[in-house]
Structures are given as C-alpha cells and as structure tokens.
Structure 1
C-alpha cells in the first residue's frame, strides 16, 4: 500500500545546498518524491548561536511503514555524516517525518504529525508552498490556515529549486 508522506530537510554545516541535494537523491531511492518546495534560508531555531539553515519540504509516496521509514531516514542521515550533538545543534543534514497519510501516532520512537510543525516557520513556509490545503490530522486545520499564526519574517527564499539556476 502506498502512503503519502511529507518530509522536512535542513542543513547548516558544510555545503548546505549540496546536503539538501544529497538527501533528496537518497530519499528518491527509497520512495517516490513527487514534489519539492523551494529552498529557504532560516535562522537557527532552539539554539541560535550557529550558522543559518537551508530548509526544504518534500512530498513523497512510500510503501514503507512509519517505523521503517524512520529507520531509512536515520540511515541516510548517518551515511551523510550526521553525528549526534545536542538538541537543536548544528547538523550536516536533518530529515524529519512531518506527516504520514493522516496518521496520528504517539510512540517513544516517533510522533506523527511532527509535534512542533506549527511552531516552526522553516517548516510551515515550504509546506504551505506545496500543500496549502493539507489538513493537519491532529488540529483539523489546513496548513494555509495554520501559517497565519506563525511569524514567517525570518524565512527567506534562497532558490526556487535544488537544481542549478
């Protein structure tokens, strides 16, 4: 059975754009990436004394279940050189499962929808770009409706795609 998923990617170490490109290619190998948002530059969230991030949201379909998808995502992060740091610290790549169909899941290993989506303009802006009418399954409101409550002033368009412009 195919599942619709939304994944958020971010990078603030090294060649940030190359990090997002590598992650998108790796994700394409395990699921069908159907849509990619523009790339946005954002100031760090949580721990602010670090370089700015590049962020993107991808819409994909997969036959993996949520836990297998999480395992594959973590493997991509490890293969790309991500090492454990402190919470909200700098990272070469970060891949989050934002939504998985309309699933609501609370498990010690995985929470879906991602619990802090509505607090993070760096997720909400690209998500609104590619899926404004997606309904948050926990809040029963569209992304476009929810983004009206988020300060998006720190989210700057970096480029329209991962491809060379």
Structure 2
C-alpha cells in the first residue's frame, strides 16, 4: 500500500468472467483489489454476450472504482497477478477466461504503453463496460463528449445486457 499522505488516484477497473463459478471469480477479484490497491466501490453485475470470439459462454461483468496511491503500471501489475492467481489463460484472443481485469480509467489522465492504454482502447464501444461504469460514473464524459450514461443506454439498446444484481 502507499504511505499515508500520498496522492490518491481514482481508478476504474473492468472485471469479467465466463468460466467456472463466475460470481466467485468476481468476488475474489473485488476482495483482492480492495486488499492490494485500496477501498473499492462496486457496480452491479451484468450478464453479457461474448464479443469477438462468440463460441463461448456468456460473461458476468462489473466495474469497480478504487482509490489508490499506486501508479498506472503498478495497478496493471497487481491486476495481472490477480488474473494469474485465478489461472487466467490467454490461448484465444477474446476467448473464454476465468477472470479478466482491465484498467479502464485513471483519474482523467491518458497513458499509452506497449502493453497498457488508458483510457482502455475499446471501452467506449462496449456495453459490457459502459453499462456497469454508468452505475459508478454516469456523468463522466467520453471522448465524444457524451456522458457515460448516455453512451451506455445507446449501446444497451443494441446489445443484450442483463442485470444480475448487486452483491457488494
């Protein structure tokens, strides 16, 4: 954890699972993020169809907001470690996974590393990200100038997004 007095950063993280006991993977991720990065606030959980590679089970998706003193690279490394603990495999691009953790937003900053882009490159066109993000940051503006809640509603109308519930 960061020393007392360090600057806290508002970070939004997308969480998804479509293998095994999906809700248990989400729960483990929420707990681990809270323990390793800082206090979390959780969206509701939604069930969505897979994107890209479609011959796989439906996903459970959610977003968490974490207040942390960690840098973007440190957050990314922590999330990769949590994925590894969940036995995440990267055999098929956009394929099935026990756990998928993505840094969506980090304050209002932009970062572009070879393995990490913030804001997440494809988040603005994905209902499975924007619908739960709208639970936590409905008035936040995207690159188009539209609010997250407006973009989420537009995508929700064309993509199947089913509310599952609030668990945390």
- TM-score clears 0.5: yes
Tell me if the contact between 1:16 and 1:54 (Cα under 8 Å) persists in the aligned partners.
Answer: yes
- Cα RMSD, aligned residues only: 1.4
Give CA-to-partner distance per residue, 1:25-78, whole Å, 9 cap, x none. Answer: 110111223310111111111111000000010011111100111011001100
Question: In 2, distance between residues paired with 1:131 and 1:67?
Answer: 23
Please list every run of at least 4 consecutive aligned residues from structure 1 whose deviation after the TM superposition is greater than 6 angstroms: none
Give CA-to-partner distance per residue, 1:116-152, whole Å, 9 cap, x none. Answer: 111110111111112101233x444421232243244
Structure 2 alignment gaps of length 5 or more: 1-6
Aligned twin of 1:111: 117
User: Is 2:69 aligned against 1:63?
Assistant: yes
Q: Answer 1 or 2: which has greater strand percent.
A: 1
Q: How many residues align?
A: 161
Give the 5 Å matches for 1:1-165: 1-136=7-142, 138-152=143-157, 153-162=159-168
> How does the TM-score come out when normalised to structure 1?
0.91
Question: In 2, distance between residues paired with 1:156 and 1:7?
Answer: 20
SS in 2 for 1:6: strand
Give CA-to-partner distance per residue, 1:2-28, whole Å, 9 cap, x none. Answer: 100000000000000000000101101
Structure 1 alignment gaps of length 5 or more: none
Tell me if the contact between 1:30 and 1:62 (Cα under 8 Å) persists in the aligned partners.
Answer: no
